[in-house]
Amino acid sequence: MSSVTPDRSKVQPAPPGIMVIFGAGGDLARRKLFPALYHLMTDGLLAENFRIIVVDRRDRDAKDYRAYIDENARPHVSKAMNDDLWQELLQRIHYLNGDFQQANTYTRMSTLIDEIDRDYHTGGNCLYYLATPPDFFGDIATQLHAAGLSAESAGQWRHLVVEKPFGRDLESARALNRTLQAAFNEDQIYRIDHYLGKETVQNILMYRFANSTVEPIWNHRYIDHMQITVAESIGVETRGGYYDTAGALRDMVPNHLLALLSTVTMEPANSLDGNAVRDEQAKILRAIQPILPEQVLTDVVRGQYAEGVSSKGEPVPGYRSEAHVAGDSATETFVAMKVLIDSWRWAGVPFYLRTGKRLPGRYTEIVVQFKEAPNMMFRDSLVRREQVPPNTLVLRIQPNEGIGLSFNAKVPSTVPQLSPVEMDFSYKDYFGDGPTTGYETLLYECMNSDPTLFKRADVIETGWELVEPILDVWHALPPRDFPNYAAGSWGPDEAAALMSRDGRAWRPCKACSVD
Ligand code: BG6
Please name the residue whose Cα sits nearest to atom 2 of ligand 1.
251
273-298: buried (b, 16+ CB within 10 Å) or exposed (e) per residue? ebeebbbbbbebbebbeebeeebbee
Number of domains in the chain: 2
Q: Quick one: average pLDDT of 369-398?
A: 79
Mean pLDDT is lowest, of 414-423, 460-469, 475-484, for 414-423
Measured distance between the N- and C-terminal CA atoms of the chain, rounded to whole angstroms: 30
Whether residues 341 and 490 fall in one domain: yes
Share of the chain above pLDDT 90, in %: 77
Q: What is the pLDDT of residue 513?
A: 53
Same domain, 252 and 152: no
Rounded to the nearest whole angstrom, what is the distance from the C-alpha of residue 368 to the centroid of ligand 1? 23
Q: Give catalytic residues, as residue numbers.
A: 256
Indicate the top mutation candidate among 236, 243, 256 to test ligand 1's pocket, ranked by most ligand atoms within 8 A of CB.
256
| Ligand 1: nearest atom to the Cα of 246 | 6
pLDDT reading at 28 higher than 60: yes
Task: Look at residues 6, 11, 96 and name the one whose alpha carbon lies nearest to residue 45.
Answer: 11
Q: Mean pLDDT across the stretch 137-165?
A: 95
What's the pLDDT tens digit per position in 255-302? 999 999 999 999 999 887 878 999 999 999 999 999 999 999 999 999
**Ligand 1 centre from 305 Cα, in Å?**
17
Q: Greater confidence, 60 or 469?
A: 469
Q: Does residue 9 sit within a domain?
A: no
Give the tens place of pLDDT for each residue, 187-225. 999 999 999 999 899 999 999 999 999 999 999 999 999
> pLDDT higher for 481 or 437?
481
DSSP 247-274: HHHHHHIIIIIHHHHHHHHPPPPSSS-H
Taking the centre of ligand 1 as the mean of its atom positions, its distance from the CA of residue 294, in whole angstroms, is 30
Write the CB contacts of 10 (distance below 8 Å, at least 6 apart in sequence).
none
Based on the fold, state whether residues 151 and 202 are members of the same structural domain: no
Given pLDDT bands bounded at 50, 70 and 90, which one contains residue 42?
very high
Same domain for 131 and 211? no
Would residue 188 count as lying in a domain? no
**Percent of the chain whose predicted confidence (pLDDT) is above 70:** 94
Distance 166 CA to ligand 1 centre (A): 15
Specify whether the CB–CB gap between 194 and 33 falls below 8 A.
no
Average pLDDT, the chain: 92
Model pTM score: 0.93
d(C-alpha 234, C-alpha 261), whole Å: 23
Q: 272 and 127 share a domain?
A: no
- Rounded CA-CA distance 303/325 in Å is 15
On whether both 395 and 296 belong to a single domain, the answer is yes
Ligand 1 atom 14 nearest Cα: 195
Asked if pLDDT for residue 117 goes beyond 90, the answer is yes
Q: Is the pLDDT of residue 374 over 70?
A: yes
Whether 181 is in a domain gets the answer: no
Are residues 204 and 138 both part of a single domain?
no
Q: Which residue has better confidence, 169 or 419?
A: 169
| 515 pLDDT above the threshold of 90 | no
The answer to whether residue 363 scores a pLDDT higher than 80 is yes
Measure the CA–CA gap between 89 and 73, rounded to whole angstroms. Answer: 12
Residue 190 lies in a domain: no
Domain residues for 132?
Answer: 17-163
- Looking at ligand 1, which atom is closest to the CA of residue 164? 3
Q: In the prediction, which pLDDT does 222 show?
A: 97
pLDDT of residue 512: 66
Strand partners, 300: 337
pLDDT reported for residue 40: 93
The verdict on 270 and 374 lying in the same domain is yes
Digit-coded pLDDT (tens) for 6-20: 566 667 999 999 999
* 314: number of Cβ within 10 Å: 9
pLDDT of residue 379: 60
Nearest residue by C-alpha to atom 9 in ligand 1: 252
Give me the pLDDT at residue 428, please. 87
CA distance 387 to 369: 16
Q: Mean pLDDT across the stretch 62-81?
A: 90
Q: Chain centroid to CA 506: how far?
A: 21
Residue-level pLDDT at 13? 93
154 and 202 both lie in a single domain: no
C-alpha closest to that of 404 among 413, 392, 388: 392
Q: Which domain-ending residue is among 144, 163, 182?
A: 163
CATH of the domain at 108: 3.40.50.720
Q: Is residue 180 in a domain?
A: no
Residue where a domain terminates, one of 163, 180, 207: 163
Is residue 185 included in any domain, yes or no? no
462 domain-assigned: yes
Q: Which of the listed residues 78, 193, 194 should we mutate to test ligand 1's pocket, taking the one with most ligand atoms within 8 A of CB?
A: 194
Q: Whose CA is nearest to atom 6 of ligand 1?
A: 251
Q: Is 375 helix (H, G, I), strand (E, B) or coil?
A: coil
Residue 352 pLDDT > 80: yes
Kindly state whether residues 256 and 139 are assigned to the same domain: no
Mean pLDDT of 139-143: 97
The CATH number covering residue 286 comes to: 3.30.360.10
Mean pLDDT of 167-190: 96
**273 in any annotated domain:** yes
Residue 175 has pLDDT above 60, yes or no: yes
Taking only the tens place, the pLDDT of each residue in 77-86 is 887 889 999 9
**Are residues 239 and 121 located together in one domain of the fold?**
no
Ligand 1 centroid vs 60 CA: distance in angstroms? 30
**Cα 435 to averaged position of ligand 1 atoms, centre (Å):** 16
Q: Which residues line ligand 1 (CB under 6 A)?
A: 164, 194, 232, 251, 364
Domain end (from 163, 187, 205): 163
Nearest alpha carbon, ligand 1 atom 10: 232
141 and 205 housed in the same domain:
no
Helix (H) or strand (E) holding 44: none
- pLDDT at residue 434 greater than cutoff 70: no
